[in-house]
Amino acid sequence: MSDIIQLLPDHVANQIAAGEVVQRPASVVKELLENAIDAGATQVNLLIKDAGKTLIQVADNGSGMSTTDARLCFERHATSKIKQAEDLFNLNTKGFRGEALASIAAIAHVDLKTKPETAEVGTHIKIHGSELITQEVCVTPTGTIISVKNLFYNIPARRNFLKSNNVEIRHIIDEFQRVALAHPQIGFSLHHNGNELFQLSSSSYRQRIVAVFGGKTNEKLVPVEEDTELVKLSGFVGKPEFAKKSRGEQFFFVNHRFIKSPYLNHAVQAAYEGLLKDKTHPSYFLYLEIDASRIDINIHPTKTEIKFDDEHALYAILRSAIKHSLGQFSVAPVLDFDKDPTLETPYSFKEKQVSQPAIEVDRNFNPFEAETKQHVKSGRGNASSIPNSFKKNSQTWEALYTGISDENEVPTIELESEEVTGSLFTEETLAVKEHLDIFQLHKKYIISSTKTGLLIIDQYRAHTRILYEQLLINITQAPALSQQLLFPLNLSFSAQEVEVLSALKDSLEQIGLIFSLLEKDNIEIVGIPTLISESETQILLEQLLADFSLEIPESGFTQTDVLAKSLAKSMAVRAGTVLNIEEQQHLVNQLFACKEPQVNPFGKKIYSMLTSTDLDKKFM
């Protein structure tokens, strides 16, 4: 039998490795930004065209590379970060595998310009699909400029699986934010198709968070600080009242590296127990510094998961530190049974001046006056023994009753009737006896009588179906009416959320949501749909962003369908809302005027029929 196992060519091996390292343009951005940070850069500029499909360029002012290093960095397993296996358990840098640049060069056109500070000229290298095209001397500033063009040009199947530009740029922004938040001492900038999305200068952690997520984020943050032998914890958590439907603003950083950890996320959720509304998630930006020998970051290809040697202790420390901070800043209620409340000084006394107490003496006070009155009341005494002052007071009291007629002296008192009515129903039930064919049950279901039995309708699901079909018509055919606001409504969202709203702006205006301004840190709304109130606008947009957090479908029916579903479930009347007879009847009529009245937009049953035969069986 002939041999069938053979070694793969280098360019094929690099393309296979690229499948693990480079999943989308955001993966390239992450690798290049981390290389710039490892090079000691203080300023990193990221330039994107067509969501990274055409160009990804990272320019830094780091240490640069020599001519030999510039050529060698594109070889597989070539790295300056580790020299032996033991170094894997004491890593303090980002890129260490030596596969990133080799994988990127295998599936794109790469252009590299680099120069160390001590050299007079730099090196310019061009590589197309792992093949070296040119290597020459060039004039370039200290640092490195690397451009990745035409990603996946030689793997059309991978390129076809990329999502729309809106989706891909959101993933790039995600990676950019993670790196920028982990290194506030470094300046970053991001430009997409000539538009500036971020311009971040060197700052503190809090300033960087505010710069990334908007000025109104500052008031939402509560600082967290804890220093133990196991971990040094710092950062910020969001106040419970600002919790969101989505998990967008949740960041863990271990030794300045972004990680994902469901276990630690559960610790944060446990600290907020009893403080959050249902199905909402708090924001947090937590930085953990742990001895590098106590963690293993080499367990996942993207290095976003870390294994800790003592997760249980870390869980307890994280939970207690956040709980302590929420209580310390009066965000969470705290009970202290040892504190005497009488020793508390009210805040209103802060600016109050100290006044010297004064002693006042009532010189007309007579301790025997009460005793004298008591003797008179009991008949032990005569008129001659009553003091003149008491007689004078009696005349004064009598004057209060002058002018009152005899007929008003004794008020008429109506006693409670003890008549037994024998009725089994409350007044509320009797008031609707004329409309016994329809009524509301438990503020959730609408019961309607039919010729054959009872119709039980879930009011929330029914209204969701009605709104869904109406919104589809508004978006695709006839725009809905918009109620204009007397004063514009100003809201604040992150740059990533503004990108989503910008992509959906035309469709949102069709349903009556009119924007006068839609840019980073500032959204101004001048018109809202007639079905919602001004106070509900923020909730509606947050739910919309949560539904589009994973992906924005391409323009067409899919995007319209997802948008209509999201808005319908946000605007529909909830269980627990009381509806009058007219509203109940109108809801039922609208439901059966729909094209599909049996199920809501998410495929759940709207109503159930209970026939008279079914009722008869209940009494058998």
Q: Over range 297-302, report the average pLDDT.
A: 64
pLDDT score, position 225: 92
pLDDT score, position 219: 87
Beta-strand runs (E) in 386-470: 438-441, 445-449, 453-458
Q: How many helices (H) and strands (E) does the chain have?
A: 19, 22
pLDDT score, position 437: 76
Domain 213-328 in the same topology as domain 10-200: no
pLDDT score, position 234: 94
Contact 37, 179 (CB under 8 A): yes
Contact 33, 46 (CB under 8 A): yes
Residue-averaged pLDDT of the chain: 80
pLDDT score, position 537: 86
pLDDT score, position 329: 75
Structure tokens at 335: 């009970």
For the chain, the domains span 10-200, 213-328, 438-609
Length of the chain: 620
Q: Over range 489-493, report the average pLDDT.
A: 83
Q: Where are the alpha helices (DSSP H) in 77-235?
A: 100-106, 156-160, 165-182, 205-213
Q: How many CA atoms lie within 13 A of 569 on its CB side?
A: 15
Question: For the segment 175-207, what is each residue's pLDDT rounded down to a tens digit?
Answer: 999 999 999 999 999 999 988 888 999 999 999
pTM of the model: 0.70
Spatial CA neighbour of 198 closest among 217, 178, 216: 178
Indicate the CATH number for domain 10-200: 3.30.565.10
pLDDT score, position 58: 95
Tokens 């967008």 belong to which residue? 248
Q: 299: how many CB neighbours lie within 10 A of its CB?
A: 10
Residue that wins the pLDDT comparison between 245 and 351: 245
| Distance between CA atoms of residues 525 and 536, nearest Å | 13
pLDDT score, position 420: 52
Amino acid at 113: K
Tell whether the model's pLDDT for residue 218 goes beyond 70.
yes
pLDDT score, position 433: 44
Question: For the segment 98-149, what is each residue's pLDDT rounded down to a tens digit?
Answer: 578 888 888 899 999 999 998 999 999 999 988 899 999 999 999 999 999 9
pLDDT score, position 610: 87
pLDDT score, position 424: 47
pLDDT score, position 404: 55
Q: Over range 214-234, report the average pLDDT.
A: 89
DSSP letter for each residue of 112-157: EEEE-TT-SSEEEEEEETTEEEEEEEE---SEEEEEEESTTTT-HH
pLDDT confidence band for 432 (50 / 70 / 90): very low
| CA-to-CA separations, 490 to 248, 282, 516, 518, 519, in angstroms, rounded | 21, 22, 10, 10, 11
Structure tokens at 106: 């295998």
pLDDT confidence band for 462 (50 / 70 / 90): very high
pLDDT score, position 41: 93
Amino acid at 331: V
45: enclosing H helix or E strand: strand 43-49
| Distance between CA atoms of residues 373 and 397, nearest Å | 15
Fold of 213-328: Ribosomal Protein S5; domain 2 (3.30.230)
pLDDT score, position 11: 67
pLDDT confidence band for 83 (50 / 70 / 90): low
Query: What class, spelled out in words, does domain 438-609 have in CATH?
Result: alpha beta
